[in-house]
Structure 1
Amino acid sequence: MLLQSFRVTHLQGLLPLTFLLSVASLGLKTVQASTPEDQSQRPNIVLFVTDDQSGDIHALGNPAIRTPNLDALAAEGTIFDQAYCTTASCSASRSVILSGLHNHFNGHYGHEHSYHHFSSFERVKSLPVRLTQAGYHTARIGKFHVAPEAVYHFDKALPGNARNPVLMAENVKQHLSSLDGQQPFFLYFCTADPHRGGGTREDLPHSPNAFGNIPSGYEGVESTYYHPNDVRVPAFLPDTPTARAELAMYYESISRIDQGLGRLVANLRELGVEDNTIIIFTSDHGMAFPGAKTTLYEPGMHVPMLVRDPRASQRGITNHAMLSHVDLTPTILDLAGCYSQDTNPAEDFHGRSWAELIGHSSSGDHDSDSTDKWDKVYASHTFHEIQMYYPMKVVHGRQYKLIWNIAFPLPYPFASDLWSAPTWQKQFEQGPETLYGQRTVEQYIHRPEFELFDLVNDPDETRNLALEPEHAQRLQAMQQELKAFQKRTSDPWILKWNYE
């Protein structure tokens, strides 16, 4: 059983006894993998995860950006245009991706590196460990950012500069060439782009602490130039020269990612495994600007999700099912044939498999068979950096979304890179009533306890319905949904309904 290795000493002083008992009472079972006799029939699987990227891909509706390889992936696969992270923080989000458990349950509340020192509980059984036990060879390259290593253990950690996805793809090719070909493989390919990296462009005076490093500094990567006048400024950002300069560099780093994906696919083709390899492309969360990363507003939660399965009967289609990162582990295990017949996958994970949706389009209407069970996601955020305590819980339907800001009396905390972002500083310096996108600086920093939005009529989340009497019944119903989600996933912050 998953919880047989549960150690109370890991939580003493952190969680109340009632929570420990509720966790122990879940009795989560481990999915036992049954390995087919013919390993050659099992698909290889690549999970390609970028760092701080919103849906800025030409095929996803941004004509200003050049992403030919991502466009090709979309044309050959399924676009899931309603995919969401559960927490817009790098380590915490990756722990969810690799476990199928919300971070308030797996213990990875925030960043792994340096003094932040967050990690998952030893009881967690991760995706790579499960796949290894199921007969897969597992390898990772690039950004890892979760702990402990024993919980998230891969058979092989490959070298490579995570800012150079072309070189990463070459190192992957070399490694795959060394295998005997008898095992299917799972590859976790994670770039450090387009995360901010402090690079500058001399022709853009407004771009210190921007995205990536100097574009010409990567061997084998062609620099893709974007003029600030040509970028698209999303509604949550101010349309200023500073914002446009930063967005131009953000686009450049995405074009580097695109080149890396193209090289990876070409290498898989050259190795003769492309036709038996499923590729899943996503990001850990939205772009690294205040208003997106670290928030649970739409620019922070909404992520790209492209899936190319060579076995799918339909290609180049869009499915509007609402998917969550918490669904990725069960989905990948399902694709790998790793569910046994005598266990219930729902008892192992907070998410569920959407493998059956790949290769099927949908209208997004509730009468669509492929979406009527996929019309709600949840989110749970606690920290980013250690100094950034600001727990938020979200229930997100197709039309209405509720955010519970548990620590709402506190000013909203900033990630160090976002606080120093030139786009934010230019607006902050002008005073609290200055607009930063659709909100004032003051509204961004000080938030109400509950934020209720009608995303159909207010996609930019500018009108909070939580205090409007005509929405009181809906607010109460969605608050109950949040409580049910917290109870179902053993969230210790459920106690906050009773005090504070």
Structure 2
Amino acid sequence: MKLRFVSLALLALISIQTLCSTNKTATPPNIVWIVSEDNSKHYMSLFDENGIETPNIEKLANSGVIFNRAFSNAAVCSAARSTLISSCYGPRMASHYHRKMGCIILQDSMEMFPAYLRKAGYYTTNNSKEDYNIIKADNVWDNSSKKASWRNRKDGQPFFHVQNIGTTHEGRLHFTEEQYRTEKTKCDPNSCFVQPNHPQTDLFKYSNALYRDEIVNMDQEVGDIVSKLKEDGLLENTFIFYYGDHGGVLPGSKGYLYETGLHVPLVVHIPEKYKELVTLEKGSKTNGFVSFVDFGATVLNLAGIEVPKNMDGKPFLGKGVSKEDLESRDETYSYADRFDEKYDMVRAVRKGNFKYIRNYQPFNFDGLMNNYRYKQLAYKEWRELYEAKKLNTVQSAFFEPKQAEALYDIEKDPFETNNLATDSKYSDKLLELRAKLENWENSMPDLSFYPEHYLLKNAISDPASFGQTHKKELSTYRHIANLSLSDFDSVESEIKSYLKSNDPWERYWALIVCSGFQKKDTKLIALTKEIYMNDSELINRVRAAEYLGLTKIENPVKAISKALYESTDSAEALLILNSVTLLQDGRQKYSFDLKENKIQKSVLENKLVKQRLSYLNDLQRPHYR
């Protein structure tokens, strides 16, 4: 046992010496991530005119670089963190559903990136949030706990440390009405900017002020961590990244592919001993686009470790990255699917100042009930004002069906309120970005064109290989989904042919396209009713009933309830319950009376299913109060 310990120690020493031989300095740099939860760049004056001062982060920026265009690829914790830890896009790995109903397994020599650091002799620590949708191997962290610290490493050993700050987490805005009435904020609510798609009410002003108070508290915690590094004499040889783990928590941010859900603050302190690894000047800013998928690759590059070819990310700092290369980067891709019990499928690409969003299921309106979201009083008030018809068109959009695609000029329209997709002046830009998104989806490929419950059964043990094996099928499903971008008359016959396909997922996407168009074509109705009555897949019967219900051709309650009772798969049942919620709370207002004693026991064991049923069976109206 002692011999084995000595051997491992020698290997680590050799790895460190190998790294050092490629650098002018004696040892490779230390790297620290300081991660604040749930805050986009919009609330900090360092990045936005409507933000509050954060003096400690600003001080860090004076010795480093401000990244004006940094983005999470996902707008919620586990999906964002799974991208960070793997440096791979979530839809390629099926790691982007929140919260997980099953962890994926990394194959094909893939590792969470800190494992490569450990192999090279680094001491790796995480304090302490993980929230991965990926099974973590034992070789990732030396310590991942609330006690994890760089201070426990061996003398002279380089380290990578992650420090998580939960002060700005969404839960901090789950205050009660009593707190709202009695507890004052330090930030003046009347001085706070309220974004234009939100109601301009006292409650929204208060929520904005309280959120900014928490950002100030978070900034102090950042300062405390930097002070400890300074106390240990580490500032001269440690890269320090400060960033938010995705966008903010005010309504319509976290969980949504708008800039408030994706555009994060990022500051990187450049240590004096390693300034030759960065071609940007200290105290400068860059508009080059960087995304979470790039962060792990960047850490490896700074450490002098070759970036594995099966990573999707590209380094934005370190050897081989010039200032010109960084400044030329102007694209980021993003994704949103299931968020707790709420299903949707949305993809986006931003290139320069233009943002393209593809809503694959546009009938799933943004404001569809999500239990955790609606613990926030501002969400509840927003919904109540909508139901009372007290909102303008821009403020009401959150609760109404979306367009299949959207195009925004972020520079002119930072809160994405003016959809340019149908404006002929922007048709070239629309087609350019649509093509970019499709090429990106094809290149992964994007596994979400299969329903989640199917992936859990068939792909979770090796999702990347599964995607490559089924690339042709996935391309076909994407093609069917994109029929919704054409004029109905020009694709009607093609939709009907896919409704008759022997492939269940071709029928699945044809049904979703039908719900998007909501056309009352006689032959279409007949084909849909055939599926509604006899399809081999329960979820296809539900999708057919959903179409018939959205168009008010036929009441879908009985058919969907029956499918729910037959389901033995909790993920499948959860997707069925999403359709129930849509048809009950949307414009159609169908009334469901679900009997829990008819639902399979294995399904009822799922926490998210229980949350949906608790909401749906609550007869105290309105639900949002």
TM-score where L is the length of structure 1 = 0.77
**Residue 315 of structure 1 is aligned with which of 264, 274, 282?**
282
Please name the residue that 2:131 is paired with. 145
The structure-2 alpha-carbon separation of the partners of 1:496 and 1:64, relative to structure 1 and needing over 3 Å to count, comes to closer
The structure-2 alpha-carbon separation of the partners of 1:33 and 1:289, relative to structure 1 and needing over 3 Å to count, comes to farther
**2: CA distance, partners of 1:69 / 1:281:** 11
Q: Deviations over 1:399-443 (max 9, x none)?
A: 32111111112233444332232222222212355438x823344
Please name the residue that 1:106 is paired with. 93
Instruction: Give the count of matched residue pairs.
Output: 426
The structure-2 alpha-carbon separation of the partners of 1:207 and 1:149, relative to structure 1 and needing over 3 Å to count, comes to farther
What secondary structure sits across from 2:287 in the alignment? Answer: strand
2:152 corresponds to 1:178: yes
The structure-2 alpha-carbon separation of the partners of 1:357 and 1:467, relative to structure 1 and needing over 3 Å to count, comes to farther
Alignment of 1:400-439 (within 5 A): 400-412=354-366, 413-432=368-387, 433-435=389-391, 439=394
Q: Which residue identity is paired with 1:225? A: K
Please name the residue that 1:476 is paired with. 431
Deviation at 1:393, TM superposition (A): 1.0
Please name the residue that 1:365 is paired with. none
Q: Deviations over 1:146-181 (max 9, x none)?
A: 14232783110232xxxxxxxxxxx56xx4333222
Please name the residue that 1:331 is paired with. 298
**1: CA distance, partners of 2:345 / 2:17:** 39
Deviation at 1:455, TM superposition (A): 2.2
**2: CA distance, partners of 1:43 / 1:130:** 15
**2: CA distance, partners of 1:185 / 1:140:** 11
**Residue 467 of structure 1 is aligned with which of 422, 443, 459?**
422
Q: List gaps (5 residues or longer) in structure 1.
A: 1-31, 160-170, 209-213, 216-223, 340-344, 362-367
Deviation at 1:394, TM superposition (A): 1.0
Q: Deviations over 1:106-152 (max 9, x none)?
A: 2222234xxx4343323241111121112111000032211423278
Identity %: 25
Q: Deviations over 1:359-395 (max 9, x none)?
A: 987xxxxxx66422x011111222221x222111111
Structure 1 or 2: larger strand share? Answer: 1
Please name the residue that 1:498 is paired with. 480
Q: Does structure 2 retain, via aligned residues, the 8 Å contact 1:45–1:279?
A: yes
Please name the residue that 1:276 is paired with. 237
Q: Does structure 1 retain, via aligned residues, the 8 Å contact 2:365–2:398?
A: no
**1: CA distance, partners of 2:319 / 2:115:** 25
2:339 corresponds to 1:352: no
**Residue 440 of structure 1 is aligned with which of 390, 395, 404?**
395
**2: CA distance, partners of 1:346 / 1:401:** 30
**Residue 407 of structure 2 is aligned with which of 410, 430, 452?**
452
What secondary structure sits across from 1:380 in the alignment? Answer: strand
Q: Does structure 2 retain, via aligned residues, the 8 Å contact 1:314–1:359?
A: no
**Residue 156 of structure 1 is aligned with which of 125, 139, 143?**
143
Please name the residue that 1:266 is paired with. 227
Please name the residue that 2:170 is paired with. 196
Deviation at 1:103, TM superposition (A): 0.8
Q: Which residue identity is paired with 1:255? A: V
What secondary structure sits across from 1:257 in the alignment? Answer: helix
Q: Does structure 1 retain, via aligned residues, the 8 Å contact 2:64–2:283?
A: yes
Deviation at 1:236, TM superposition (A): 4.0
**Residue 217 of structure 2 is aligned with which of 233, 256, 268?**
256
Q: Does structure 1 retain, via aligned residues, the 8 Å contact 2:174–2:376?
A: no
**2: CA distance, partners of 1:134 / 1:275:** 21
Q: Does structure 2 retain, via aligned residues, the 8 Å contact 1:34–1:134?
A: no
**Residue 327 of structure 2 is aligned with which of 347, 358, 371?**
371
What secondary structure sits across from 2:171 in the alignment? Answer: coil
**2: CA distance, partners of 1:228 / 1:83:** 28
**1: CA distance, partners of 2:89 / 2:225:** 30
The structure-2 alpha-carbon separation of the partners of 1:454 and 1:178, relative to structure 1 and needing over 3 Å to count, comes to closer
**1: CA distance, partners of 2:200 / 2:16:** 52
Q: Which residue identity is paired with 2:76? A: S
Please name the residue that 1:127 is paired with. 113
The structure-2 alpha-carbon separation of the partners of 1:231 and 1:390, relative to structure 1 and needing over 3 Å to count, comes to same
Q: Deviations over 1:200-234 (max 9, x none)?
A: 779985389xxxxx99xxxxxxxx93232233333
Q: Which residue identity is paired with 2:161? A: L
The structure-2 alpha-carbon separation of the partners of 1:121 and 1:415, relative to structure 1 and needing over 3 Å to count, comes to farther
Greater alpha carbon shift after TM alignment, 69-78 vs 484-493? 484-493
Deviation at 1:346, TM superposition (A): 7.5
Q: Does structure 2 retain, via aligned residues, the 8 Å contact 1:95–1:120?
A: no
**2: CA distance, partners of 1:380 / 1:248:** 29
Instruction: Give the alignment's Cα RMSD to 1 decimal.
Output: 3.1
**2: CA distance, partners of 1:337 / 1:236:** 46
**1: CA distance, partners of 2:20 / 2:319:** 26
Q: List gaps (5 residues or longer) in structure 2.
A: 1-14, 450-474, 482-508, 510-625
2:11 corresponds to 1:49: no
Q: Which residue identity is paired with 1:185? A: F
The structure-2 alpha-carbon separation of the partners of 1:281 and 1:445, relative to structure 1 and needing over 3 Å to count, comes to farther
The structure-2 alpha-carbon separation of the partners of 1:328 and 1:151, relative to structure 1 and needing over 3 Å to count, comes to farther
**2: CA distance, partners of 1:145 / 1:400:** 31
Please name the residue that 1:395 is paired with. 349
Query: Which one scores higher on RCO, CA 8 angstroms, separation ≥ 6?
Result: 1
The structure-2 alpha-carbon separation of the partners of 1:237 and 1:431, relative to structure 1 and needing over 3 Å to count, comes to closer
Please name the residue that 2:161 is paired with. 187
**Residue 240 of structure 1 is aligned with which of 196, 201, 214?**
201
Deviation at 1:89, TM superposition (A): 1.1
**2: CA distance, partners of 1:152 / 1:281:** 25
Q: Does structure 2 retain, via aligned residues, the 8 Å contact 1:143–1:192?
A: no
Q: Does structure 2 retain, via aligned residues, the 8 Å contact 1:107–1:119?
A: no
Q: Does structure 2 retain, via aligned residues, the 8 Å contact 1:383–1:391?
A: yes
Structure 1 or 2, whichever has the larger Rg, is 2
**2: CA distance, partners of 1:401 / 1:200:** 31
Deviation at 1:466, TM superposition (A): 1.8
Q: Which residue identity is paired with 1:354? A: F
The structure-2 alpha-carbon separation of the partners of 1:104 and 1:229, relative to structure 1 and needing over 3 Å to count, comes to same
Please name the residue that 2:74 is paired with. 87
Q: Deviations over 1:84-105 (max 9, x none)?
A: 1111011000011111111112
What secondary structure sits across from 1:252 in the alignment? Answer: helix
